[in-house]
Structure 1
Amino acid sequence: MLMLLPGATGPFFSLNNTDFVMLLGFLLFVAILLWFKVPAMLTSALDKRAATIRKELDDARTLREEAQQVLAEFEKRKKEVATQAAGIVSSARTEAEAAAREAHKDLEASIARRLQAATEQIASAEEAAVRQVRDRAVNVATAAAARVIADKMDPARADALVDRAIEDIRGKLH
């Protein structure tokens, strides 16, 4: 049988017994909840919430997979860009070295041309100086010879030499 709790008065199945009244109120409350289908509503709400959570989890998984794909693609592009950058740097370095070698060759050729031109100018200047010295020496010698001849030669002998020179020239020309 049911035990009586302290504070309960009279027999258990009596409206004077507070425990019985509490039991009746509780059963009435549960009956009202069942009548208005509250457990079904709670179950439906919980099922909807579970479906929403499941959908959010699926969306999160999809987003995670997409993010992983994007990350993998980004990493792939990053590697490609790094490879391209290394190639560009290598190519630029090679081109710079080739350009430096070409510039060095051009500089050497330019120096050689300038050296050759300077050597030619020096040789030309030497030849001109030698020619000037010779011309001057010839002029001085001619003038000196003319003075010596003029001092030592009489006019009759000079006319004879001129006539003889004219005859020599005529003989060589004809």
Structure 2
Amino acid sequence: MRKLTTVAAVMALSATPALAASGPFFSLRNTDFIVTLGFILFVAILLYFKVPSIIGNMLDKRADDIKSELDEARALREEAQTVLASYERKQKEVQEQAERIVAQAKAEAEAAAEQAKVDLKASIARRLSAAEDQIASAEAAAVKEVRDQAVVVAISAARQVIAGQMTAADANKLIDAGIAEVDAKLH
């Protein structure tokens, strides 16, 4: 490596325009010579302190760091894709579960509505039956009241007719017959 660098430096110096200049080139008064010596000295110092290998090592270390960062980024990307797929799967499951819950709620609401209709029909039937019973009861009470009133009127009329046609002897016979009948029924 060192020989290659030295050869490159010699070739670079040999192709300079300073060699084409007139006058002694190796004079300290020649600025081209001084610049060339400064450049060679600079390159020699860089080679002595192994700056090219240090720079190469730094570049290799930087390349390794970039490679490890790229590997880490790939791993993170794969992990993110796995997590994303997991979340998408969970979101799909949650969506399906929500749809099932909504469908079940609709079915329960429809069943509750049907049950409410059945209960309403039964309640209406009970109320109609109760109303019919009340009407029948009121009708029976009215018929009974009319009969009772008719009986009272008939008894009153019969009393007046019998009282007008009956004699004291007939009344005593009826009283005795009533007492005998009551006595026969009680014993």
TM-score by length of 1: 0.88
Provide the rounded CA distance (Å) in 1 between the counterparts of 2:40 and 2:16: 19
After TM superposition, the structure 1 stretch with the greater mean CA deviation from structure 2, 25-34 or 150-159, is 150-159
Inter-partner Cα distance in structure 1 for 2:185 and 2:100: 83
Equivalent-residue separation in structure 1 for 2:76 and 2:25 (angstroms): 62
Match of 1:86 in 2: 99
Aligned partner (choices 137, 154, 160) of residue 173 of structure 2: 160
Distance 1:160 1:18 in 2: 183
Per mean C-alpha deviation after superposition, the further-off stretch among 72-81 and 53-62 is 53-62
* Higher RCO (CA < 8 A, seq sep 6+): 2
User: In the TM superposition, what is the alpha-carbon distance from 1:127 to its structure 2 partner?
Assistant: 0.8
> How large is the RMSD of aligned CA atoms in angstroms?
2.4
Structure 2 distance, partners of 1:111, 1:39, is 104
Equivalents in 1 of 2:84, 2:48: separation in Å? 55
Residues in 2 aligned to 1:172 and 1:54: alpha-carbon distance in whole angstroms: 127
Structure 1 residue 160: deviation in Å? Answer: 2.2
Code of the aligned partner of 2:142 = A
Structure 1: gaps spanning 5 or more residues: none
Deviation at 1:12, TM superposition (A): 2.4
Once the two structures are superposed, the pairs formed by residues 48-87 of structure 1 within 5 Å of their partners are 48-87=61-100
Structure 2 residue runs of 5 or longer lacking an equivalent are 1-13
Q: Distance in 1 between matches of 2:185 and 2:16?
A: 175
- How many aligned positions are there? 174
Report the TM-score when normalising by structure 2.
0.83
Percent of aligned pairs sharing the same letter: 59
Q: How does 1:1-174 map to 2 (within 5 A)?
A: 4=17, 10-167=23-180
CA distance in 2, matches of 1:32, 1:2: 22
Residue 56 of structure 1 and its aligned partner are, at CA, apart by 1.2
* Distance change (3 Å), C-alpha of 1:169 and 1:2: closer
